[in-house]
């Protein structure tokens, strides 16, 4: 039964997601090896307010998304067909999400899971940061959107909306501490580059 399920087109969604998250692994391992376990005295000098709560919200959003994915893959039921090349469109968006996160991590040396700044933090304005201010959150939004195109399910749709809201809230929280540290330099960058959609938002 499990073999039959994973031979279906829908189950390939898990491969896209695995590759997306695996993109973070080399950076995480390198950072862990470089810094080790930080003492309490070495905690970030500046952290966004409620940053842990916002991460929790984002995790809940992803939980809703993955509940919908599991429901769609393991409990097959009729789903609306949005348009004929639906899997192709979803696969294209998912591939774009993976490409964007790989590109971002390749140029973003100060990446942290939590919105925090430490000594030596660099303001990233190169690579994908020339197009949008928060390419990793945009990549997560694209991951959720591609998943919805691949598996049009009410829970996947709800999760995709919550992922977008969580990314927007985390982006705004990060912008507040970046503005407090980098001042006019960051203010000018914000005037030139939109948050998520070039030239729009």
Domain ranges for the chain:
48-192
Q: How many CB atoms lie within 10 A of CB 200?
A: 7
- Per run of 10 residues, the mean pLDDT along the chain (length 201 residues) is 58 94 83 55 59 91 96 82 83 97 88 66 89 96 97 95 96 90 93 94 92
DSSP assignment, residue 94? H
What is residue 48's predicted lDDT score, i.e. its pLDDT? 66
What is residue 164's predicted lDDT score, i.e. its pLDDT? 98
* Cβ neighbours of residue 197 closer than 8 Å, sequence gap 6 or more: 132
What is residue 150's predicted lDDT score, i.e. its pLDDT? 93
Pair of tokens at residue 188: 């000018």
What is residue 83's predicted lDDT score, i.e. its pLDDT? 76
> At how many degrees (to 10) do helices 13-22 and 135-150 cross?
170
Helix%, strand%, coil% for the chain, nearest 5: 70, 5, 30
What is residue 172's predicted lDDT score, i.e. its pLDDT? 94
What is residue 3's predicted lDDT score, i.e. its pLDDT? 47
What is residue 42's predicted lDDT score, i.e. its pLDDT? 47
Q: What is the pTM of this model?
A: 0.86
Q: Please state which CATH number belongs to domain 48-192.
A: 1.20.120.1630
* Cβ neighbours of residue 116 closer than 8 Å, sequence gap 6 or more: 44, 46, 47, 48, 51, 177
Cα separation of 77 and 72, whole Å? 7
Give the DSSP per-residue string, 111-152. --SSSEE-TT-----SGGGGTBS-HHHHHHHHHHHHHHHHS-
What is residue 51's predicted lDDT score, i.e. its pLDDT? 79
């Amino acid at each position: 039964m499990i073999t039959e399920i994973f031979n279906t087109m829908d189950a390939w969604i898990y491969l896209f997601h695995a590759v997306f998250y695996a993109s973070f692994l080399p950076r995480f391992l390198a950072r862990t090896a470089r810094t080790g376990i930080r003492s309490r005295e070495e905690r970030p000098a500046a952290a966004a307010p409620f940053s842990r709560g916002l991460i929790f919200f984002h995790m809940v959003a992803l939980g809703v998304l993955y509940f919908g994915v599991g429901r769609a893959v393991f409990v097959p039921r009729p789903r609306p067909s949005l348009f004929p090349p639906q899997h192709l469109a979803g696969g294209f968006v998912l591939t774009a999400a993976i490409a964007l996160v790989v590109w971002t991590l390749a140029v973003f040396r100060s990446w942290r899971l939590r919105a925090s700044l430490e000594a030596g933090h660099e303001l990233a304005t190169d690579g994908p940061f020339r197009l949008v201010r928060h390419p990793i959150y945009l990549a997560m939004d694209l991951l959720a959107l591609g998943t919805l195109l691949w598996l049009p399910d009410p829970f996947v749709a709800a999760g995709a909306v919550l992922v977008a809201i969580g990314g927007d809230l985390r982006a705004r929280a990060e912008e507040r501490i970046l503005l407090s540290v980098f001042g006019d330099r960051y203010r000018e960058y914000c005037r030139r580059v939109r948050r998520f959609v070039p030239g729009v938002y």
